[in-house]
């Protein structure tokens, strides 16, 4: 099962709005209590997705038990609750911090100099924590954010988030509609100091052959080559990024700036290798925050 074949397991638009009203009245804890049971019913009613979680966990933590798979589901559901706080500006800047202070300083400098930044993100953790950062006024108040997304991916939840957001400073580009005009437009934006997020860990549903294969946790995985070629074409600072939930209710921002003086073809290979290494290391550290509920591995894995 591919990721674009997975049916969205959202609670439904009306139920999501009900959760939002409960959150506004009673806060986060009652919402998480309700979400626990919503997740339980979704978990029981989604055997194919559950099996994919178990296959992944059998590799990542050597334990593909039902209990571990449910913890995997629940972590994802709780990350969606965190998104509600982030998109309504209720998740304070004090709740995020950078894992590496030296990288943070380099990152701040690139932002202040308006160099334009290309973020290669992933489906590990919750990169929306960066929304809190960019809306905090900590560096540049007018930093404009652009994002590539599949138009129909998690449509119910995305519509809900757009509805409750105080405003939406993010420009979203559907990946299925990208063309030369889009590339030129984004190049102009980044040259003015804007930033772009694009996931490097999920192949395109509309260009399934544009991939490369890498070893990941000891198995073969397909990655979208377009995200990496595009990074080099734009010729702006490239960062790998992941934002992980910590036990204290905060999020840790992992950043790594990609730097290489190699020629274009060699540089592309180095970029791919370093991104996969970055993602693999964090997946080992946060296996229950790697949110791929489909057959992620290219080679056949038996449960």
pLDDT digits (tens, 9 = 90+) for 72-94: 999 999 998 998 888 888 888 89
Evaluate whether 10 touches 76 at the Cβ level (below 8 Å): no
The CA distance from 275 to 266, in Å, is 14
pLDDT band of residue 251 (cuts 50, 70, 90) is very high
* pLDDT tens by residue, 3-41: 344 454 455 677 778 888 888 889 899 999 999 999 999
**205 CB neighbour count, 10 Å cutoff:** 15
**How are beta strands 170-174 and 117-121 bridged, if at all?**
unpaired
Report pLDDT for 147: 83
pLDDT band of residue 206 (cuts 50, 70, 90) is low
Give the burial class of 231: count Cβ atoms within 10 A of its Cβ; 0-12 exposed, 13-18 middle, 19 or more buried. buried
Evaluate whether 211 touches 203 at the Cβ level (below 8 Å): yes
The CA distance from 196 to 203, in Å, is 18
Report pLDDT for 216: 95
Least confident of 11-15, 170-174, 226-230: 11-15
Report pLDDT for 10: 52
- The pTM (predicted TM-score) of the whole model is 0.89
Q: Percentage of the chain surpassing pLDDT 90?
A: 53
In whole numbers, what is the pLDDT of the chain averaged over residues?
85
Mean pLDDT value across residues 212-233:
92
Mean pLDDT value across residues 232-253:
95
Report pLDDT for 242: 97
Whether the pLDDT of residue 174 is over 50: the answer is yes
Helix (H, G, I), strand (E, B) or coil at 8: coil
Mean pLDDT value across residues 33-62:
92
Whether the pLDDT of residue 275 is over 90: the answer is yes
Least confident of 68-77, 174-183, 208-217, 261-270: 174-183
Report pLDDT for 71: 97
Report pLDDT for 160: 65
Q: How many residues does the chain have?
A: 303
The enclosing H or E element of 219 equals strand 219-224
Highest-scoring range by mean pLDDT, 47-51, 170-174, 177-181: 47-51
- Residue 278 vs residue 137, higher pLDDT: 278
The count of C-alpha atoms lying within 13 angstroms of the C-alpha of 277, restricted to the half-sphere facing its C-beta, is 8
């Amino acid at each position: 099962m591919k990721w674009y074949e997975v049916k969205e397991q959202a609670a439904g638009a009306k139920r999501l709005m009900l959760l939002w009203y409960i959150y506004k009245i009673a806060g986060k804890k009652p919402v998480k209590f309700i979400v626990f049971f919503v997740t339980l019913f979704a978990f029981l009613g989604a055997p194919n997705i559950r099996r994919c979680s178990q296959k992944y966990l059998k590799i990542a933590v050597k334990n593909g038990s039902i209990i571990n798979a449910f913890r995997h589901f629940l972590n994802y559901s709780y990350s969606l609750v965190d998104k509600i706080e982030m998109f309504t500006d209720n998740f304070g800047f004090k709740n995020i911090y950078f894992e590496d202070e030296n990288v943070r300083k380099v990152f701040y400098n690139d932002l202040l100099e308006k160099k334009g930044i290309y973020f290669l993100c992933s489906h590990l953790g919750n990169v929306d924590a960066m929304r809190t950062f960019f809306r905090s006024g900590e560096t540049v108040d007018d930093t404009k954010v652009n994002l590539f997304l599949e138009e129909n991916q998690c449509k119910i939840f995305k519509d809900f988030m757009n509805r409750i957001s105080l405003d939406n400073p993010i420009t979203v580009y559907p990946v299925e509609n990208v063309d030369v005009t889009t590339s030129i437009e984004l190049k102009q934006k980044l040259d003015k100091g804007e930033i772009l997020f694009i996931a490097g860990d999920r192949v395109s549903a509309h260009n399934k052959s544009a991939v490369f294969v890498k070893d990941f946790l000891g198995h073969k995985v397909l990655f979208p080559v377009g995200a990496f070629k595009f990074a080099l074409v734009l010729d702006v600072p490239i960062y790998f990024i992941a934002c992980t939930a910590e036990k204290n209710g905060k999020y840790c921002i992992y950043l790594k700036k990609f730097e290489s003086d190699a020629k274009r073809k060699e540089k592309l290979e180095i970029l791919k290798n370093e991104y996969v290494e970055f993602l693999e290391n964090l997946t080992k550290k946060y296996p229950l925050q790697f949110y791929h509920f489909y057959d992620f591995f290219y080679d056949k894995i038996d449960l």
